[in-house]
A = this chain, B = another copy of it.
């Protein structure tokens, strides 16, 4: 039996910016400055930060993950939602139609997005090689078991298969705290 163990990484709240919104927030012709490359190839946390504002509160220095994307997207935890007074749906990254609104403020201006704010649905990034090894298909809903004295089985985990990925499960900090920071799981279904 092949091991189906997988690394679990926690993602904090962050913003992806479109080229247009990047210019509004930081000025014409601006480009993002990588501060730290992340586990997913080509993805980086930026030196730049932005303020995000909801009806009830704000976060002053939210991280931006580069490179730029086709559409601006803000990923929050349920805890963040309550601080901001925002009700965002649980969605896969990129699936932002009719998601929540937000104000984003940069040093050069501000952007009011009508949609783009989501809680990221828990997911596993897989290379095609690992997907084949694990017997999984893109978009398949799988279960991941986590051990320890706060053990649980994450249901409703989306498998996402792409040659540009590194194999890892991504959850948010609410979920990471619920398992006391355990960083390995096992795909069981």
Contacts and interface: CB of A to CB of B under 8 A. Distances in A.
Interface stretch (A11-19, A38-46, A152-160): A152-160
Q: How many copies does the complex hold?
A: 2
A148 B154 CA distance: 12
A8 B140 CA distance: 28
A126 B85 CA distance: 35
A145 B143 CA distance: 12
B149 A90 contact: yes
B150 A153 contact: no
Q: Name the 8 nearest CB pairs between A and B, nearest first.
A: A174-B177, A178-B178, A153-B153, A151-B155, A78-B177, A90-B149, A175-B178, A151-B156
Interface of A: 77-79, 89-90, 119, 121-122, 143, 145, 148-156, 173-175, 177-178, 180-181
